[in-house]
Structure 1
Amino acid sequence: MCAEDDPLGEQKPQQVPSTGTLLVDTGRRDQVGEFRGTAGPYWSLRPVSGGREWEAEPANIRAPSPMERLRAEIARCNARSEGRVL
């Protein structure tokens, strides 16, 4: 899900995902988070099991692999069962 380069070497802007989309921030050691919105040139992500949001550069964002998506969904279910996430 990285921005593509055009022939002139300029980066095309990435399409902003819908709220709640799972994404991986490669700038934070491949941490998986939910897209929450934009903050200037950055995207706001939140850990799937709850916690503080962080801002990520769109160039460092990619789609999660099937295993990363599964781990994130399990973490969300566990947090919900423990009352940490509504």
Structure 2
Amino acid sequence: MTDEVAGQPYTENRRPEVGETVRDARLGRIGVVMGGIGPYVQLRPLYGGREWDVAPEHVEPVTVLEVLSARVAEVNERSRKGVLPD
């Protein structure tokens, strides 16, 4: 997490750091910043998976509570499918 206020979008001049957990406001998904290519920020799901690209203006900081909620939802989804994270 950063000192950013949750809900304040990043810009091309102010991008999230690698390893930071953020929200893709366009999709409503929470992911971990893996880097960036060109103008885009690359995010990966919390428990791994395929990365996706997001324009910086669609990336928002998240609170600790939002991260915890997203992690619980991911574990619940995986448990329903019979696949638990390591």
TM-score (norm 2): 0.67
Larger radius of gyration: 1
Which position in structure 2 is the counterpart of 1:22? Answer: 21
Q: Which runs of 5+ in 1 are unaligned?
A: 4-11
Q: Are 1:2 and 2:9 an aligned pair? A: yes
Measure, in 2, the Cα distance between the counterparts of 1:14 and 1:74.
32
Q: CA RMSD in A?
A: 2.5
> What is the count of residue pairs matched by the alignment?
73
Give me the whole-angstrom Cα distance separating, in 2, the residues matched to 1:45 and 1:15. 16
Higher relative contact order (CA 8 A, sep 6+): 2
Gaps of 5+ in 2: 1-7
Q: Deviations over 1:45-73 (max 9, x none)?
A: 00002210000010001111343111234
Identity over aligned pairs, percent:
29
Contact 2:12-2:39 at 8 Å conserved across structures: no
